[in-house]
Amino acid sequence: MADATQDFFDSLAQRGHDPRLRAIDEGSVRFDVSQDGQVQHWLVSIGRGDIAVSENATGGDAVVRAERSVFDRIASGEAYFLTTVLRGEATVEGSPRIFAVIRRLFPPPPASRTARHRGGGDG
């Protein structure tokens, strides 16, 4: 069975650089993903578009918390990150600026992917 959350963080680490994140001179986001009473932590550090990922339970200018089932849906593109936050399925604390930029790490909302495949919308 595929592990959407682990695959997401592995792909970020392999990406190394993302020009959409160059607005952040230096910052980090810690992701706390819980399942069955256990919490896994990933620290995503960003500097002018360069991305580094580590499994670290401390730090972060912003912290995202979600259940594993919710984060799997976000990571696979089945759910939109911002929508899960607005619904209270995921929480974000810390720097609003970092939060605004890290949204770009996730797949686009399901509706905009469908519109793009049909030739409409701008994603």
Q: What is the DSSP string of 49-107?
A: TEEEEE--SS--SEEEEEEHHHHHHHHHTSS-HHHHHHTTSEEEEE-HHHHHHHGGGSP
Q: Tokens for 90, please give them.
A: 């995921």
Q: What is the total count of domains within the chain?
A: 1
Choose among 109, 121, 113: nearest CA to 83. Answer: 109
User: How far apart (Å, rounded) are the C-alpha atoms in residues 103 and 74?
Assistant: 11
Instruction: Indicate whether 10 belongs to any domain.
Output: yes
| Domain that residue 8 falls in | 4-118
Report the CATH number that the domain containing residue 83 is assigned in CATH.
Answer: 3.30.1050.10
Q: What does the pLDDT look like over 34-76, one tens digit per residue?
A: 999 999 999 999 999 899 999 988 999 999 999 999 999 999 9
> pTM (2 decimals)?
0.83
